[in-house]
Structure 1
Amino acid sequence: MLAGRTKRAFSNGLVSIAGKLILMVAPFFLRTVIIAKLGIEYLGLNSLFSSLLSMLSLTELGFGSAVIFSMYKPMAEGNDQEVCALLNFYKNIYRAVGGIITVVGLVFLPFLKSFVASDYPENINIYIVYLIYLINTVVSYFLFAYKNSVFIASMRNDIDSIITTICHLAMYVAQIVVLLLVKNYYIYAVCLPLFTIINNIIKSYIVDKKYPQYRSKGSLTKEKKHDIITRVGALIGNKIGGVVFSSVDSIVISSFLGLAVLGKYSNYYLIFTSVSSFVAIAFSSIQAVIGNSMVCRDQNNNYKTFNELFFINIWITIFCSCCFACLYQPFIKIWVGEENQLSIIIVFLLVIYYFVRGIRQVGYTFKEAAGMWREDWLKPYISVIANLCLNIILVKVIGLSGVILSSVFALAFIELPWETRVLFKAYFKKSTRGYYARILKAVIVAVVSITISFLICNLLPESIIGLILRGLVCTVIPNLLIVLVYFRTEEFKSAKSRISEILKRKKSKSV
């Protein structure tokens, strides 16, 4: 059973990462066309509206996570009736959420200009564009988005990833064609809800064909509804925390610094999220597996798995942090020009931000898989308040650097230690001392790797050849240091053995 779960998780991760690789390239072409045809402010407008509507999506309150968590057990036990009742409950909740988002979104209309410092494009009606973005946000709630939970709970994230990749790629192509041929931002924006509808219809059709036993019908018992609502009560804060970190920064930047600065920052943040989402996708793919394992296996075995994943995550995080530090500026210069570069201070702050987010990933995934939302329900509220207050204070004092610093502070000194304490005390029932020692060790390796790589890369030109050479430096230095430091540890040996075992299975199956 464990081998099957591991195999499924590995397949989910590979397919999701392959899809992300494809979708990572398309936005760069799209943004290049937007800057050339429309201007950097339009990128800022995209980021602002996406962030505003992400805030409205808080109305969902985490029902999705709670329902998916509740599906693990009945799916494993073959209780189709309960899964159907959960789907029906989820569908009704989503349609109510869609209605609320529509109403609140319309209430925001008169205040749109207050979210822009001064430089919004004057040749378009931002209210019409906002309404198109609003339709794109709510349409999934009224259609079949609830059926996506079947893919996740049944560990078939790979199907979801393939459909999403195809639909998004088609949308990017359509948007680029529109901008090149007619240079019309309204038609460009209409592509968003159009392809969202297509995406929903395709996923709904495949769920119905592949899982005919799961239909949205029946009712949950009062006890089950109470359990889900109780979990949602604990999840509200976590949902708020997640949205704030991804949305409030953009709103603050636009409100205080303008759309042009937000447009430049969004280019950096696109690279940031494109890379970080690889790891997030991989862990999202195995979250159901971890949740299943927490039900079926003891804490010691799961702690061993935790340490393996933590080591693999450290390796990826250090390597990517090194690449960010050395490749950010030359890549931006080649891609959108020196005039759209931010300072090197912003680059290093983003490196620190990425590293802290990366280090937190494994503990967060295990806590989510265990459904431990009640145990740290207060954390996100404190984190959100601290982040928001620091955002507003520091952006006035040190500008864009203050926005990033506030997020780093909230993650490093509130989110990470709080989640670690909850996971280790409530589930593993172990001391956190060893875990923090491993984090400190990773920080030292990261600092040494980045310092050596950055000093070497500074000797290289900011050209395409220089970018390739910098990439080679970032490939050799951090990976060599990680192997030298960790090769004798149990986590290194265990992770190596686990990966080799999976690859052998894949090879023997293909033969």
Structure 2
Amino acid sequence: MRSKNSIRNVIVNVGSQILYIALSFFCRTVFIRMLDESYLGLNGYFSNILTIFSLAELGFGTAITFSMYKPLAEKDYKKLGALMGLYKRAYHTIGIIVAVVGIAFSPFYQFFMKSIPDIPNLTLIYFLFLFSSVITYFLSYKQQIIIADQKVYICSLYQYGFGIAQNLIQVVILILTHNFILYLCAQILFSFFANFFLARKAGKMYPFLKKYEKQKLSKPDRAAIVKNIKAMFMHRIGSTVVNGTDTLVISTFVGIVSVGIYSNYYLITNTLMNVTKQIFSGITASVGNLGAVEDHRKSYEVYLAINFACFWIFSFCSICLFSLFNPFMLLFTGKKSLLFALPIVFVIVLNFYTTGMRQATLTFRDAFGLFWYDRYKAVFEALVNLIASILLVQHLGVAGVFIGTLISTMTVDFWVEPLVLFRHGFHRPVSAYFLRYALYTALTFSVGFLTYFCCAYVPGTGFISFVAKCLICLLLPNAAYLLVFWNTKEFRYLKGFVKIPALHRS
């Protein structure tokens, strides 16, 4: 059953997101053609401010999801109802806090802009972004039980279905009116629809929630959740500072136009990261169930398979990004002024790779509930990232911000996360992980630069040239990895992933 749910989750998640991505890029292309570049920067700037406000969530969702795995397996409806009741009250409170903080911040948002863009109704636009964020806290909490129950594909169908409709309506609005405010109103409306109808679906799937949501959790259960929330809050600080402050630093020290340029690159890397995260989120609940009923040896076997798949996916994506980023941007935007120089692109891709290579480890850490052991890691990560980015941006410009992010990842996350998982999850020495990481990274760099130089020999900058480079990126890295790994244990893991006994046993 775990295997079937994992495969169904991955197929639906990835398939629906691919369609959503295609329409999102089309919508962004229309956005760039119809509106001034400063609107692009403003969109990225306000989005990142709200990412920082999301710290109020405290990591509650991940902690509650972990707490649901065991009662779902045991069909303990009273406890599930009590957990969801707690989650509901918490998220409603968080929504109010985000609204209050957002309103209080409204007089100050312009202080983080090096120059104020010539865009009318800036404050109204800010409040529309804020409202879009706040309403999700009053409806989205019900999704968590669906996710914990290994049915992520249901959430994906609703979210991406309404997301596709949203993009189509936004394209029509941009073409007919060129109005950014109407564009945002469509975003708010469809976000509300997605969360509202998904909440109704959860109510129908789990009718016992209404009956038991006023139940009180036992003191040990509350203590365990509070402990995990404390740990996850620190993790939220780290991820929010690392992912949410880059745009603020660029806006403050470089300018809002550079934020707009970065937002195009971020759209692609974030889209790829989301697609791959759908794969890992689709198996997280199954891994949590696996950890609850199987021994450490079987969990470690599954981890090796997933970690190898993680390498192949992120290595291939990183190679494609480095070789195709600027050629695609030129086709996508039609403007050379919206391109970053190759060294900046290299650092962006390197950050994508190092973040991606953490996904297998983070999936198992979250599924095993090991939040407490590396709780201080996130605080150090945030401090290193912010200090390094602010210092380096003044000397290196935009590149300095991304180098600061890379420094924080490699000096903190790179060694702490696998150490915690191997020590407290698998009870094994972590040296094997670092040896594999070194091999995988060496292969990525070697094959990546070979691919880039092959693509560089393709003449022209048009569509045909881009397609030829895509074919090189598709064939060369995968052929190289097949050649290297064909007879290895790692590749047998990958080929036999859906046949691993640990995942098949229900």
- Normalised-by-shorter TM-score class: over 0.9
Are 1:478 and 2:477 counterparts?
A: yes
Show the counterpart of 1:208.
203
Show the counterpart of 1:315.
312
Show the counterpart of 1:509.
none
Contact 2:302–2:500 (CA under 8 A) maintained in structure 1: no
Aligned equivalent of 1:151, options 133, 146, 150:
146
Counterparts of 1:385 and 1:5 in 2: how far apart (Å)? 39
- Judge which range, 81-90 or 174-183, deviates more: 174-183
Aligned equivalent of 1:131, options 104, 127, 132:
127
* C-alpha displacement of 1:119: 4.5
Give the 3-state SS of the residue equivalent to 1:110 in structure 2.
coil
Give the 3-state SS of the residue equivalent to 1:214 in structure 2.
helix
The one-letter amino acid of 2:474's match is: T
Counterparts of 2:499 and 2:462 in 1: how far apart (Å)? 38
* C-alpha displacement of 1:123: 3.6
Counterparts of 1:499 and 1:87 in 2: how far apart (Å)? 32
The one-letter amino acid of 2:180's match is: Y
The one-letter amino acid of 1:464's match is: F
The one-letter amino acid of 1:420's match is: P
Contact 1:16–1:158 (CA under 8 A) maintained in structure 2: yes
Show the counterpart of 1:37.
34
The one-letter amino acid of 1:145's match is: S
* C-alpha displacement of 1:462: 2.0
The one-letter amino acid of 2:410's match is: A
* C-alpha displacement of 1:210: 2.0
Show the counterpart of 2:12.
15
Q: For residues 289 and 114 of structure 1, do their structure 2 counterparts lie closer, same or farther at Cα, with a shift above 3 Å needed?
A: same
* C-alpha displacement of 1:499: 4.3
Counterparts of 1:483 and 1:243 in 2: how far apart (Å)? 37
Contact 1:41–1:119 (CA under 8 A) maintained in structure 2: no
Aligned residues: 498
- Considering Cα pairs closer than 8 Å and 6+ residues apart, tell me whether 1 or 2 has the greater RCO: 2
- Structure 2 stretches lacking a partner, 5+ long: none
- Judge which range, 240-249 or 399-408, deviates more: 240-249
Counterparts of 1:480 and 1:29 in 2: how far apart (Å)? 31
Deviations 1:434-471 (A, max 9, x none): 11111111111111111111111101122211111111
Counterparts of 1:444 and 1:384 in 2: how far apart (Å)? 28
Contact 1:94–1:141 (CA under 8 A) maintained in structure 2: yes
Deviations 1:223-271 (A, max 9, x none): 2222111110111111112222221111111111111111111101111
The one-letter amino acid of 2:400's match is: G
Are 1:287 and 2:284 counterparts?
A: yes
Equivalence map 1:438-453=2 (5 Å) = 438-453=436-451
Show the counterpart of 2:192.
197
* C-alpha displacement of 1:500: 7.0
* C-alpha displacement of 1:214: 2.5
Are 1:304 and 2:301 counterparts?
A: yes
Show the counterpart of 2:115.
118
- Computed over aligned residues only, the root mean square deviation of the Cα atoms, in angstroms, reads 1.5
* C-alpha displacement of 1:177: 1.3
Deviations 1:326-348 (A, max 9, x none): 11111101110222111111111
* C-alpha displacement of 1:27: 2.1
Counterparts of 2:114 and 2:382 in 1: how far apart (Å)? 23
Are 1:333 and 2:330 counterparts?
A: yes
Equivalence map 1:261-280=2 (5 Å) = 261-280=258-277
Query: What TM-score does the superposition give when structure 1 sets the normalisation length?
Result: 0.95
Question: Percent same amino acid at aligned positions?
Answer: 31
The one-letter amino acid of 1:188's match is: Y
Contact 1:34–1:40 (CA under 8 A) maintained in structure 2: no
- Judge which range, 403-412 or 381-390, deviates more: 403-412
Counterparts of 1:434 and 1:201 in 2: how far apart (Å)? 46
Contact 2:239–2:382 (CA under 8 A) maintained in structure 1: no
Deviations 1:389-427 (A, max 9, x none): 011111111011111111111112211200111111112
- Structure 1 stretches lacking a partner, 5+ long: 506-511
Show the counterpart of 2:226.
229
Are 1:86 and 2:73 counterparts?
A: no
* C-alpha displacement of 1:43: 1.1
Counterparts of 1:470 and 1:457 in 2: how far apart (Å)? 5
Aligned equivalent of 2:374, options 359, 373, 376:
376
Show the counterpart of 1:343.
341
Equivalence map 1:19-98=2 (5 Å) = 19-98=16-95
Contact 1:119–1:258 (CA under 8 A) maintained in structure 2: no
Give the 3-state SS of the residue equivalent to 2:207 in structure 1.
coil
